[in-house]
Chain A
Amino acid sequence: MSIDKSISGRDGAGASPPGDDGSSPTEGTGRPTSPIEFRLDPASGVPTYLQLVQQVEHALRLGYLNPGDQLPKVRDVVAALAINPNTVLKAYRDLEIKGLASGRPGQGTFVQATLSQVALPELTALRRSLSGWLTAADGAGLDEDGMVALFTSALRDFYERRNGSHTRGGAARGETEGVA
């Protein structure tokens, strides 16, 4: 997933959503007010609000967004992508819960913190253990797609578990839990 590299707000390059000029009393002249612009991949299977959250986190990681920057106004996102405003609100709410953004009434939503950068030695260690896992998987007979499928499934289960669901389901390997 990529972020549109439109640094529209800063340079005034006209990448603002069309048909959007200042009929809302809270906006100024309708110039884009955020360094980033969202895009939507309707076929990706990822829920819309989650795509927005991930794009913000990605932008933070890559440095497009810094603390104090404003996230795109709800109205602008809706006008550009034709998505439900409640979805945008949900994404921003999610970011608030994560502590990455905060809303200022009447002004918009602003970036509050950066994502914790993982330190370089930790990254190296993680990479090494990952290579070990890949070697083991290869030795067990998994091909590339099989590795990806296994990893994706485990990743999803990990986050589902972490995000408040207490299920121990989803893992397709060797659990001896009772029948529902």
Chain B
Amino acid sequence: MNVIEASGLGKRYGSTWALRECALAIPAGHVAALVGPNGAGKTTLLNLAVGLATPSAGEVTVLGGRPPGSPAALDGIAFVAQDTPMYKNLSAADMLHLTRNLNRRFDQRYAEDRLAELGIPLKRKAGKLSGGQQAQLALTLALARRPRLLLLDEPVAMLDPIARHDFMATVLTAMADDGVSVLLSSHVLAELERVADYLILVSRGRVQVAGEVEDLLASHRMLTGPAAEVGRYARRPVVRLSRGEAQAHLLVRATADDPVPPGWETHPVGLEELALAYLRDPAAAALPGPARIRSAEPSELTR
């Protein structure tokens, strides 16, 4: 089952397209990371998936074909928006009561146990909790609904490192226990490789890369060799070139089985390096379809 499917999806605000021609098929059972610079369209995509916005073009379905915002979709999706919106005047216990009333499924016991573990007092008003506690409260409320899909919009952006770690540990443990699929958006690349096994790169409203991390890493290599010979690789799908005077690095779409020319070394690529390379060049894409060939330019950074 695909937890999110989109084809030709686009959203326009006024005359600006926040998202265009987005095609996705995110499988269940994964942690999908939605990565891109600020304003790339990540929040727009999440809002479309959860029914807070309607598409201007194309269509999107969730949880195996359900329309976003429909009762069937809302039942199975839990969303934690950016800055974890919360009713500041309600206590944590009130928020539990509220969420229990608004949903078909709610595991009150799990929620109370979890809040007790985290040291969040039930009687305290939500507005008086720290940032990390508010985030954990919002996450607890979401997970207590026993969703099939958890959507998180930049959940850890405002959290300190410990809170960040605990938050992600909670999410991933829920995945291990319950089989929840996760889609989280982030503009922090550093912790991606530990957490994500499906990557979606968004830049300037378009999806550049969408695929399983394992496949992506297996299908890209870093070639290092003499700068003078770079020209002969203009034919190959080159994602990024960086060169010094004598040495150049080419990030190419190739597998470990592809033969390597003499005098060149090949290395596997890490996820962060891969993501950065694509994000630096918004025209490059790793999707089914023709990849743009970049010509060798001497204006790149040296390693």
Contacts and interface: CB of A to CB of B under 8 A. Distances in A.
Q: Do A and B bind each other?
A: yes
B251 to A, nearest CB: 15
Nearest to A172: B265
Contacts of A78: 169, 172-173, 175-176
Interface stretch (A40-48, A101-109, A123-131): A40-48
Contact of B191 (A24, A42, A79, A160): A42
Contacts of B175: 78, 84-85
5 contacts: A23-B110, A78-B173, A80-B169, A84-B195, A85-B175
B260 A167 contact: yes
A167 B254 CA distance: 12
Given A84-B195, A177-B261, A169 B168 contact: no
Interface in A78-111: 78-87
A168 interface: yes
B297 interface: no
Given A78-B173, A165-B256, A87 B262 contact: no
A84 B197 contact: yes
A48 B267 CA distance: 17
Given A24-B177, A82-B169, 11 more contacts: A23-B110, A42-B194, A75-B173, A79-B172, A79-B173, A84-B172, A153-B265, A167-B256, A167-B257, A175-B262, A180-B260
Given A19-B117, A23-B113, A82 B168 contact: yes
Contact of B197 (A81, A86, A179): A86
Q: Which of A48, A79, A85, A165 has the most CB of B within 10 A?
A: A85
Interface string A1-41: 00000000000000000011101100000000000000010
Contacts of A45: 270
A176 interface: yes
Interface residues of B, number: 39
B261 A180 contact: yes
Nearest to A160: B256
Interface of A: 19-21, 23-24, 40, 42, 45, 47-48, 74-75, 78-87, 153, 160, 165-170, 172, 175-180
A160 to B, nearest CB: 6
Contact of A170 (B117, B197, B232, B266): B266
Contacts of A40: 194
Contacts of A169: 256, 258-260, 264, 266
B290 interface: no
Given A79-B173, A177-B261, A179-B261, A48 B266 contact: no
B196 interface: yes
Contacts of B113: 23
B300 interface: no
